[in-house]
Structures are given as structure tokens and as C-alpha cells.
Structure 1
Amino acid sequence: MDPQSKGSAVLALHYQNDVLHPEGKIRVGLSADSPVRSAVIAAAQALLQGARQRQWPIVHVRIAFQPDYRDLIQNAPIFRNVAAIGAVVEGSWGAAFYESLAPDAASTREFVVRHRRVNAFYGTQLEELLRIVDARRLVIAGVATHSVVESTVRHAVDMGYEVTVAADACASAQPAEHDASLRSMDLIARIGRGEAVFS
């Protein structure tokens, strides 16, 4: 591992079939042939590959619920919508990772966390895993920018992590939402693209 990379880790959020695949139930609100979808997938692939080359730990965060949604508190429109459309059911194709962005099962540096709220830290073992790998700097990316990404970034910053957002590996249904979220996070995190997130 590059000595300058010590203490760095990647959080990859919601790279799942229901979120990214053209046949997924959520699909980020993007059309099946949207060039934004292809660009986000390509950027996420590059992010994961770059982390693997540098031997950085990667935590793949997925959202999933029981088939009857008994483990989902439907106190917000986003959660009521998930239940209404039958998305990200545990054990289903939709809740599984998008094939080209799936964890490397043979790697001892990659972990999977399941969560059930907006913030990836809430009610999960994410903080414990980051302590185990001695992470102090996080590169965070995923879908959607203005929900799980921003919520997780804000929590991480409050916990004392130095955070970089890999902007090109994030997306929202509307470009305006994505851009506004990046501008908001720019107050508390570094916004990077491509190889720049590794420096």
C-alpha cells in the first residue's frame, strides 16, 4: 500500500440493480437509455478499480428490506415510495449489487454493510468497520447524491473524517438536485472527479 494512502477508504453507496439497472424498480429516476446512467457506472467502476489498485479498503453499502417491509419505518415519502413500488427486497435481484460494481468476494479489503435508513451509518456496523481498517479519510460516492450520499457525508464529517465526494460516481434523478447537493457538500467536503479523488 502506498504510505500516503494509509488511512483512506472508499464508501460505495447503493450500486444495486434496482437503483442502476435499466430494469430496476428505482433506476434513479433516469430513463433506461440515459447517458447519465452509463457515465455514473463507468465512473464508479473506475473508482473501485483505483481503490483496489491502491489496496484501499472498500465498504459497499446496500439498502434492503424484508419482503413485507416490517423492518422499514415508513415515516418519510422516500421510504413510503420504496414500499409502494416493491423495491430493494432482501434476497431479490433488485437488492443485489449491479454486476460490474459488486464487491470482490475474494478480497479481504472489501466489506458489505446493509442499512435501512437514509444515512449509511445509522443502525449499522459501518463505524466499527472503518475503525478496524483505521480509516481517517473517506472517498464517498453513490446514488442518489442528494439523499444517501449527502446524508452519509454529513454524518462522516461530524464524526471527524476527512471526506472527498467522488462527484462523477454520483447521480440524482434531476441534474439540478445533483448539482445543488454537490454545492452544499462543498462547504464540508472536497468535491473531486476521476483520479483526483485519490490524491
Structure 2
Amino acid sequence: MVRSPALSSTPPLHRTAVLALHYQNDILHPDGKIRVGLSASDPARDRVIAAAAKLIAGARHAALPLIHVRIAFRPDYADLTQNCWIFRKTAELGAVQENTWGASFYEALQPDETREHELVIRHQRTSAFIGTPLEQILMKLGVRHLIVAGVATHSVVEMSVRHAVDLGYEVTVAADACAAADTKIHDASLDSMRLLAEIADVDTALAQLEKHA
């Protein structure tokens, strides 16, 4: 009797993954070209960074897939479709140019690509799914629930959340790890997303992981 060759072990599937969006110098650092409207002396800025760091540490502690999404363009912006104000303003400011300090991750929120299932994806639109392998990565890992956070709330966070929900994912927004230049816009975006996603703080989002196991 001929035995079939042993099958390779299947990698474990993860119900939940974390998306960390745009934690980059030009967007988050007080010397960045875009920023989120929070000065170095503003306690709110420190709170956002601390919450983002807690989310990243929590994902690592729980061995969750952790996907860092960064936005970056060529120095001449030939790869930037300037069809709306936010992209035209990016080029005008000379922001998030590839291979510059501004496009790099904020020091306290750096990815660790030596970890299994901790990845970095570059994109060039407002949704983290457009033009990236994000959906294929999540599908391969068996992910059905996303914890999403980043800057700015009303841009990459909301657009990625809406895209994820349309693709069938359950979504939790870690609100205290998100920010916008105007707190009213931040709050309005969170209210808008309540129709689609659970809005929680980082502690609650991490504590509820068992619900999605």
C-alpha cells in the first residue's frame, strides 16, 4: 500500500487582526508637514500616541496579525492621482515622499517585521484596501474581525472601515488611538461609523477579543 505524503501543517487562523493606519512622521509628529493639528505640548497628542502604542503592544501580546499601513509617493508625485483637495494638498506640502523622514513611521510606533504576521503595506489612496494586497492577506489568515485605528479619523480610518464592512468584516474602531485636526470632525466621523462598526477605546477593544475568538 502506497502512503500519501504527509501534508504540511496548516498555519493557525486568526479571527481578529489589527490595522494601524498612517502612524507616520509627516502625519503625527509636531514637525510633520501634515500633522493632525496637535502640537507637541497638547496633552491630547500624547494620549493618542499612548493609546496607539498600547494597541500595538496588545496586538503583539495576543499574537494577533498586525498590519501597519503607510502612505507614500514618489518625490515628483507622478504616482499621486490629484483628483481631490486632500491629494492636491499633499503634493503642495511636499508631504509623505517615499524614502524621507516624513513618510517613515513615528518612532514610538515602529513596526517589527521580524514578528510573524506583522506586516507593512504601502498605499496611495484613502482606503487601505485599494491597490494593496490587504484583503488577500486577511483572507489567507482567516481574519473576520478588524480592530482599526490611525490618523486621520475621517480619512483613512473611516474609508478603510467602510471598505472593510462592505467586504463582510466585523469592525471595531479603537477611537482613542485615532485623531483628526479638528476634534469636532473626529467626533462626527466616529458617530457616522457607529452605523457600521463598534466604537470602543483600546482597552475595551483588546478586552473583547475573546468575543471574536
Instruction: Normalising by structure 1, report the TM-score.
Output: 0.95
Match for residue 143 of structure 2 among 135, 150, 157:
135
Write the letter of the residue equivalent to 2:65: P
C-alpha contact (below 8 Å) 1:138/1:162 kept by paired residues: yes
Is 1:184 equivalent to 2:192 in the alignment?
yes
Percent identity between matched residues is: 60
Which of 145, 154, 163 is residue 171 of structure 2 equivalent to?
163
Opposite residue 113 of structure 1, the aligned amino acid is I
Alpha-carbon distance in 1 for matches of 2:27, 2:116: 26
- Cα distance in structure 1, aligned partners of 2:92 and 2:30: 19
- Equivalent pairs counted in the alignment come to 195
Structure 2 distance, partners of 1:36, 1:72, is 31
Where does residue 53 of structure 2 map in the other structure? 45
**Structural mapping, 1:85-124, within 5 Å:** 85-124=93-132
- Comparing 82-91 with 26-35, greater Cα deviation is found at 26-35
**SS of the residue 2:192 aligns to:** helix
Extract unaligned runs of 5+ from structure 1.
none
CA distance in 2: counterparts of 1:6 and 1:75, whole angstroms = 37
The alignment's C-alpha RMSD in Å is: 1.1
Report the counterpart of residue 19 of structure 2 in structure 1.
11
Q: Which has the larger Rg?
A: 2
CA offsets 1:146-190 (integer angstroms, 9 cap, x no match): 010000000000000000000000000000000000000001100
For residues 106 and 123 of structure 1, the distance between their equivalents in structure 2, rounded to whole angstroms, comes to 24
- What is the identity, as a one-letter code, of the residue corresponding to 2:17? A
Unaligned runs of 5+ in 2: 1-12, 209-213
Q: Which amino acid aligns with 2:135?
A: E
Contact 2:68 2:121 in 1 (8 A): yes
